Each structure stands twice: as structure tokens, then as C-alpha cells.
Structure 1
Amino acid sequence: MVGALYRWQFPVMKSRVLITLPLPTTVLEALKQQFELQVWDEGPMPTAQIAQWAKTTDAILCSLGTPISADLIRSNPQLSTISSISVGVDHIDMAAATAASLPVGHTPDVLVDSTADLALALMLAATRRVVEADRFVRGGHWSADWATDFFLGTDLSRATVGIVGLGPTGLAVVKRVRAFGADVIGWNRTEREVLGVRNVALDDLFAEADIVSVHTAAAPETHHLVSADRLALMKPGAVIINTARGSVVDESALIKTLSEGKIRAGLDVYEEEPLAKNSPLLAMDNVVLMPHLGSATAATRQAMMERALANLVAGLSGKPLPWCANPVVYTGP
């Protein structure tokens, strides 16, 4: 009886969770059953607001648009978990998190196919000039009869496709373009033999490919891997696709190359997101632009959400995160 009375007089406090993005009502209602929530749903959450709310929270549920700095981590030693609804964690200072023994959750292995599908969609849109032709028709410019040089593009079935990064997404793209009949060449940071892919040096890949598709992860050693020098190696009329990370491509160099009309591009990611309203890319007809939609299918986003929530609940329960981006916090160096 005394024990029961003690429990009623001193209930266990709910853990506090800072959520930095809008979530479906059903998800929020379920979380409210277990946690005390602070939810930001007014667009990108300002850094100052994150810092203020983080002082009174035990865990953060975020996405790629939420920068988690070393200073924020060091200033909030009460944090037990960061769970990001993303595969990449380059928006989080991982060195600081690991130094603080703070586990960071992410959502790997669920968006490979959806990202590969989008890469293929961008290839077809750019090589066959789909968006450019759509604007042409909608603008009322289609007045001439058929002509032999009207909106000429590139056959994927006759193309050489260069895959930069032969990880899971790169391999999924290999599978897709081979089904079209394309010749495939590849480059990986650590050489990897893949059936149907001829490994070449990175500079040779840019010089030889009709389409270059970028699938390498963001890391210090891949920053501006697609440089001005490598863009200059590309054939006239070649296409570059980026569904990986914006930092892998030197965007200023790409803009300059595109403005010269030498190549075309299909982009889903950028060095700064959202893309600036004054970006020269917006005025170019030879580039297809997407607002970072690689994972944007209902099934993939649901899977990402489920993994992020599983990470959050595990961390706040004192258990290891099932999908931890820095597992060394559990095992030690």
C-alpha cells in the first residue's frame, strides 16, 4: 500500500522532446502519450530558437534542415539522443556528439530505390529535355511542323553512364541503366568490382561518360569532388546528375559550365538548401531542378519516420539506438 501511494504521489516525469519540423497529427498524438513535446511547425527552425528550446529538452527529433552544432551539443549535456529523419547526418556535428557520448540516430537502407528512381527520372528528363519541352509547349511556342533538329536529346540506350560512388544507391542506378541498355563505367573511393561495370579513374569517367550520376557520400574528402577541372573534361552535350549531396559538387563551377551551354544537368541537392531565390540555376533551361525529393515517396517516408521514432524511443528508454550513426558511443574507440 505504501509503495502504491508513493508511486501516485511522485509520478515519473515524461522525457522532453524537441521536434524541429512539422509531423503528421497521428504521429504527434502517439508521441504525446509517452513524452512532453516542443514542436516547431513554422518552416525552418531558426538556430537561435533551437538553442533556446534545447535547454529544456532531453532529445531532439530533426531532419536535414536542422543544423545541430558543436556548441549546441556542448551547451546541453542533458541531451540523451538526437534522432534525425534522414540517412545523412552532415547537418549534425558528429565529432562533438561522439565526444559527448551522445548517440545520433539516422534512417539508412530505406531510400535506396526511391533515390535511384529519381536519379533515373532526372537522367531521362535532362537527356530528352522533358522540362524544357514542357515549358515550350505551355508557353505557346509550338507553331512549327516537325523538324529533324527539334529538341534533340540523347538516347539512354546508346549512352555511356558514369556512376560516381558504387554504394547501395549507385548499384541500384547501375541496375536501372543497364536495363535500358546503357554502357556503364564506375568509380568508387575504394575500388569495387561490380558485374557489368567497367572501373575507370575518376577523371577518365568524366571525360568518357555521356551521363555522370553522382552517388558518393558527403565527407571532407568528397567536398567539391566534382570540380571545375572535372566539369571541363565532360563532353559537349553531356549530362551530370546529382542526387547525393550538394557539397560534392562545386556549384559555382557547375553554374559557370552550364551558363556556357556545354553540358546539361539534373539536380536534386544543392550546396545551400533551400536553393536561393537569386540562384542563376533558376534562369537556365539546360538544368532540371528538384527540391531534394530523393526520398519523397509515401512508402519511403513512412519507413524513415518509423526508424527515426524507433531510435528516439530507444534512446529515451536507455537502450542502444537500432540505427545509430556513431555506434562508437556504445563500444568505445
Structure 2
Amino acid sequence: MRPTPTTRPRALFAMGRRHRDALFAPADIQRLTAYVDIDPDHVAEDLAGEPALKDVEILITSWGCPVLDEEVLARAPALKAVVHAAGSVKHHVTHACWDRGLVVSSAAAANAVPVAEYTVAAVLFANKRVLEIAGVYRDHRAALDWSQHFPGFGNYRRTVGLVGASLVGRKVLELLRPYDLDLLLADPHVDAAQAAELGARHVGLDELVADSDVVSLHAPALPETHHLLDARRLSLMRDGATLINTARGSLVDTDALTAEAVTGRIRAVIDVTEPEVLPATSPLYSLPNVLLTPHIAGSLGGELHRITSSAVDEVQRYCSGEPFAHAVYHAALATSA
């Protein structure tokens, strides 16, 4: 039975202490305690021997949450729900959780927003050749004929190809829709009609890579997506095209990308790498045609509060007997981040 509005189920924070402190401001704690019985000062970073588990109905998790395996669940007989104040639940929600029939929610949709915003900015700057022009301007410190130096630059009718109709991929398509761009989508789980509804033309991956001025990756890290962009596919990219990766570092063969980038033939905006962090000797740090950022596209700083708001909303729904708005289903995890 779901709790009625007159009851306050027991809840527990299970995450890294620093993440709890960054996510949940006093106003968020106040709102949360209106719905659940929770000790706001207690954060379970290790669930082994955690005495509060025996009465907990809702675990509020985030980065740093311990794995919820059979041993943990055996000491949490009242546990019914996991509300994850972050993106993927794969790191801590195990088969034992699904076997128990726990309901699970994630703030992946909230976390997708800043990643999509970063991606859109990267797309627009890439086609406008902003970083390269800024570099030339810095070196020459004079007004030049930019159209002569960068013929055809700009965003009008450029082709942007998205690999993966994930939450982030769909948000990027939504945000790019008002621009005069031609959008392509490659995803084996989406057909032509579904792609059209998202505002894109469905194509195969090789065609997308070869025909796009910008290739943006939004696929999950799965065995079948490991090095999805290998040396062969990177060689298909147009001269001067840009690769954007805000998804997972394992989607790209780092050695192959480095070899292509060193020639200057293609450009890259890379927020995630394999390995993460790259060796200090990697040329990707200093190449003028590469923008390398340290996994900052996702929620950071003030953006964390969007995640918190989403998680508290889900707690409120649960306590009101409503289904989660952002439920996670076991069957969907095989093809999601």
C-alpha cells in the first residue's frame, strides 16, 4: 500500500555527504520534511550496519550512494522506493531491487537540461568557428576579412547529426528546432516516423557521420556502443567537421580521435574522455582545434537545484499515492545511460 496523505513515511539520505550538502539547501530540507520523516543531519555514506535501514520506506540517493544489493535490502524490510537525485541509477540499483519490486525514480531528465544547453552552445559556436576566430584575432589583434579566412562559416542550413535519441539527445533536438539547421538522427531504437516527430531525419550512423557538419554523441555506454566512433568512422567525417561528445568517453576511440585531431582535419568539443582524466601528455589539451572540458556539461553549481527540485517533487508524488513522473523501469536500462 502506498502511504496516504496523512502519513509520513520514513526516509533516509544515502549518498556522499558533500553531495547531500550541495544538493539540499535548508529550503529543500524544509519542503522535504513536510512529506517524510527524515533526519536531515544524517547521511548514510555506508549502508553496512546502518541502523536506520530497518524502518526506511524511501531512500533518497545521489552520487556516492552505496550499492543496494541483497545484503542491504535484507536489512531494509520496509523499503519500497528509491528516489535518485542524480542521473543514472545503474551504479547502485541492482537486480535485487527489481526483484523486490521497488519503485525507482531518477532526476536524469533534470540533469539532461544543462548537458543539452552545453551541446547547443557547442553546436552554434562550432559552425560559427568562434574558437578559431578568437585565436586568430588574439594573434593578429586586427580586423580581418573573416569570410575570406573562414569561407562558408555560420549556422544557416548547416547539418547537425545526433547519435542517440536519449533524454539529452531529445532535448538537444528540441532546443535546436528553432534554428535554420538540417537535423539528422541515428538511433537503432527509433524509426523514421519517430525521428520526424523529433524534428530530424532518420539515417544510418555512417551516413550521419559523413553528411554532418557537426556530429554530437548522446548514446549510452553499452558494450555495443564501445568505440562507436572508431578510426574508420572518424575518417568518414567531413574536413572541418566538429565532433561533440557530452555523453560517455567510451563512445570514442581516444587514440583514433587524437590522430585525426593532430592533423587539424576535424575539430572536437570533448567534455568526457576515455580515460577520464586524460594523461598530461595528451595533445588534446593544447590543440587549437580541440576544446577539452573536464566533465562540466552536467549539473553543477546552481544547476544542482533543478535536480533537487525534481527529486523532492517525486517524493511528494509518492507520498500522495501518485506514480512517479520520472520512473525508471528495469527493462529500459539495457538501452539507457
Match of 2:246 among 218, 243, 251: 243
SS state of the match for residue 122, structure 2? helix
Match of 2:183 in 1: 184
| CA 211–309 in structure 1, closer or farther in 2 if over 3 Å, else same | same
Q: Measure, in 2, the Cα distance between the counterparts of 1:158 and 1:322.
A: 36
Root mean square deviation of aligned Cα: 3.9
Q: Measure, in 2, the Cα distance between the counterparts of 1:31 and 1:175.
A: 32
Match of 1:66 in 2: 64
Match of 2:169 in 1: 170
8 Å Cα contact 1:19-1:39 kept in structure 2 = no
Match of 1:285 in 2: 288
8 Å Cα contact 2:15-2:61 kept in structure 1 = yes
Letter in structure 2 aligned against 1:293:
A
Match of 2:334 in 1: none
Match of 2:140 in 1: 142
Q: Percent identity?
A: 27
Unaligned runs of 5+ in 2: 1-7, 332-337
SS state of the match for residue 76, structure 1? helix
Match of 2:5 in 1: none
CA deviations over 1:215-261 (Å, ceiling 9, x no partner): 23444433332333211221221111223333433344333432332
Letter in structure 1 aligned against 2:296:
H
SS state of the match for residue 307, structure 2? helix
How does the TM-score come out when normalised to structure 1? 0.71
SS state of the match for residue 162, structure 1? strand
Letter in structure 2 aligned against 1:105:
S
SS state of the match for residue 311, structure 2? helix
| CA 170–32 in structure 1, closer or farther in 2 if over 3 Å, else same | closer
8 Å Cα contact 2:114-2:297 kept in structure 1 = no
SS state of the match for residue 140, structure 2? coil
Letter in structure 1 aligned against 2:38:
F
8 Å Cα contact 1:160-1:184 kept in structure 2 = yes
Q: Measure, in 2, the Cα distance between the counterparts of 1:128 and 1:206.
A: 19
8 Å Cα contact 1:111-1:294 kept in structure 2 = yes
1:218-297 correspondence to structure 2 within 5 Å: 218-271=221-274, 275=277, 278=280, 280=282, 281-290=284-293, 291-295=295-299
Match of 1:105 in 2: 105
CA deviations over 1:114-165 (Å, ceiling 9, x no partner): 543322201122333434555666xx63335525554668322142221222
CA deviations over 1:252-273 (Å, ceiling 9, x no partner): 4333432332211223344566
Shift of 1:208: 1.7
CA deviations over 1:45-96 (Å, ceiling 9, x no partner): 9xxx545586754454343x43654xx5233123424322234334335434
